[in-house]
Structure formats: C-alpha cells, structure tokens
C-alpha cells in the first residue's frame, strides 16, 4: 500500500510537514500544496530534513502554488517534481489513498 501525503501549511508555521515526513513510509509520496510549497525551498531550516526524506519518498510540489508565491524554480530543492492539478489527480489515483496533513 502506498500513500499520497499532502501538506498544505508552511513548515515554518506548523509541524505538519515534519510530522508527515516522520510518518511517510518508503514508496509513498508527499505533495506540497498551498503554503506547503514553502517546504520545497532549498537552504531553509527544514531543507535537509526534506532532502533526507527524499531518499525514501518522492516529493512533489504544485506548480501553481509555487508560482503564486513568487518562488523561483532555481531556489527549489533538487529533484522536487512540479506538477499541475492533473498531476495531482494522477498522483491521487496512482497511490492507494490520500492522507492530508493539515
């Protein structure tokens, strides 16, 4: 079984991203949406945690939320794949269930 985890809050505001990562098993995926996309930025206090998680778990970010917040794609952690809403739907369908870390 694999889970698509979604994280929608900033990791600097809430512990949701951290808690999600700490419960995500190998083979599952984490999709950063809304303010959660701030977790995709490199060189932040949580970037190393995210990079370490990426050894076991695929991390994605919703491109429209990255763009809305003016985050430059150069500033993102390497290998975080940007998806659009149809990519989000696809991830939800491909994994067995979706868990939202609010």
Partner 1 sequence: MKFSVMISEGPYTHQASDTAYNFIKAALEGGHEIFRVFFYHDGVNNGTRLTTPPQDDRNIINRWSELAKQHDLDLVLCVAAAQRRGIADADEAKRNGKDADNIAEGFRISGLGQLIEAGIQADRLVTFGD
Partner 2 sequence: MSQTKKFLYVNRKAPYGTIYALESLEVVLIGAAFEQDVSMAFLDDGVFQITKNQNTKESGMKNFSPTYNALGDYDVNKIYVEKESLDARGLSVEDLLELTYEDEDDDYAEKSSIHVVSKAELAELMDQQDVIFSF
Binding residues vs partner 2 (CB under 8 A): 1-3, 15-16, 19, 22-25, 28, 96-102
- Residue 92 binding result from partner 1, partner 2, none, given CB thresholds of 5 to 8 Å by partner type: partner 1
Give the nearest distance from C-beta 62 to partner 2 in angstroms.
18
Phi-psi group of 81: left, alpha or beta (phi > 0 → left; psi -120 to 50 → alpha; rest → beta): beta
Among 26, 43, 79, 86, binds partner 1 (CB under 8 A): 86
Cβ–Cβ < 8 Å for 83, 91 = yes
Tokens for 26?
Answer: 């190998």
């Amino acid at each position: 079984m694999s889970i698509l985890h979604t994280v929608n809050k900033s990791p600097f505001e809430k512990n949701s991203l951290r808690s999600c990562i700490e419960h995500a098993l190998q083979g599952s995926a984490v999709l950063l949406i809304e303010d959660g996309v701030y977790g995709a930025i490199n060189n932040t206090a949580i970037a190393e945690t995210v990079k370490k998680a990426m050894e076991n778990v695929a991390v994605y970010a919703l491109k429209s939320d990255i763009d809305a917040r003016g985050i430059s794609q150069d500033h993102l952690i390497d290998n975080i794949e940007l998806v659009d809403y149809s990519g989000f739907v696809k991830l939800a369908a491909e994994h067995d269930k979706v868990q939202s870390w609010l």
